[in-house]
Amino acid sequence: MSDIEQGSVLILGVGSPRGLGAATARVFAAAGFSVVIAGRNQDKLRQAAESIAAVGRAPRIEVGDVANAGDVARFVAAAESLAPLQVAVQNAGGNSRSPFLEVSPEVFEEHWRAHAFAGFLLAQAVLPNMLTRKAGTIIFTGATGSLRGSANFAPFAAAKAALRMIAQSVAREFGPQGIHVAHVIVDGVIDGDRARSLFPGVESRFGEDGMPHPDEIAKMYLVLHRQQRSAWTHELDLRPWSEKF
């Protein structure tokens, strides 16, 4: 691969080393990319950075708000300062269960900002340089909620569905200009620290290989970036073998 292909990668939404953001960073670092990880919790970013440095280059850490335009611009500039930004991943945003009538306007807006608005800001920030180079990959992490809204998860589903529409619109506008835009639907409970802390014993509920493993999802992100443009994937859905759909 050329030097520009082995450029930099920016990942929004990196928490603990067992999360998808950190796993994605490890996969790209191991492949030789310079990596920038961004999130709100500096301690978690440092822990993730240690796991990334163990397999490749030590990542650059950027602390900030993915729903703040100034912070996102700073994240992008940090990546471009290391090497041409080749891949940008919007992986930020949490999830919370709540009966619809108990959802506050603040919680609803918070979900939308962390998932959809952050994706919008990221795409706007990375596209100018990518268009100049006529190359680049933007990946949005989706979920089951991207396709259907479950009871008690209205804020999450609304935000993820909005992110999916952003991905489609950006892909249709900029795909013909050389930018690969992909939306990855993770249909299942990711086997990470977040799920295990929120739902004790969750691994026994789903059984062996019943939860998508972050490292395996991350490998597919690298596959998406390396696809030749005559056969690009826009939407990819990943689920464990036992998940009903």
Q: What's the pLDDT tens digit per position in 73-90?
A: 999 999 999 999 999 999
Q: Select from 92, 81, 94, 2 the least CA-distant residue to 36.
A: 81
pLDDT tens figures, 141-150: 999 999 999 9
Q: Which residue has the tokens 């295990």?
A: 196
Q: Is residue 1 part of a domain?
A: no
Q: How many domains does the chain have?
A: 1
Q: Select from 205, 197, 224, 102 the least CA-distant residue to 151.
A: 102
Q: Is residue 245 part of a domain?
A: no
Q: Is residue 105 part of a domain?
A: yes
Give the span between the Cα atoms of 181 and 158, in whole angstroms: 21
Give the span between the Cα atoms of 70 and 121, in whole angstroms: 9
pLDDT at residue 119 tops 70: yes
Q: Which amino acid is at 2?
A: S
Q: What is the CATH number of the domain that holds 234?
A: 3.40.50.720
Check: CB of residue 214 under 8 Å from CB of residue 163. no
Q: Is residue 244 part of a domain?
A: no
Count of all residues that appear for the chain in the document: 245
Check: CB of residue 227 under 8 Å from CB of residue 173. no
Q: Is residue 74 part of a domain?
A: yes
Range of the domain at 202: 8-238
Q: Is residue 155 part of a domain?
A: yes
Q: Is residue 86 part of a domain?
A: yes
pLDDT tens figures, 29-68: 999 999 999 999 999 999 999 999 999 999 999 999 999 9
The 3-class SS string of 13-49 reads CCCCCCCHHHHHHHHHHHCCCEEEEEECCHHHHHHHH
Q: Select from 188, 192, 76, 176 the least CA-distant residue to 134.
A: 176
Sign of CA dihedral 233, 236, 240, 241: negative
Determine the pLDDT at residue 201. Answer: 72
Q: Is residue 243 part of a domain?
A: no
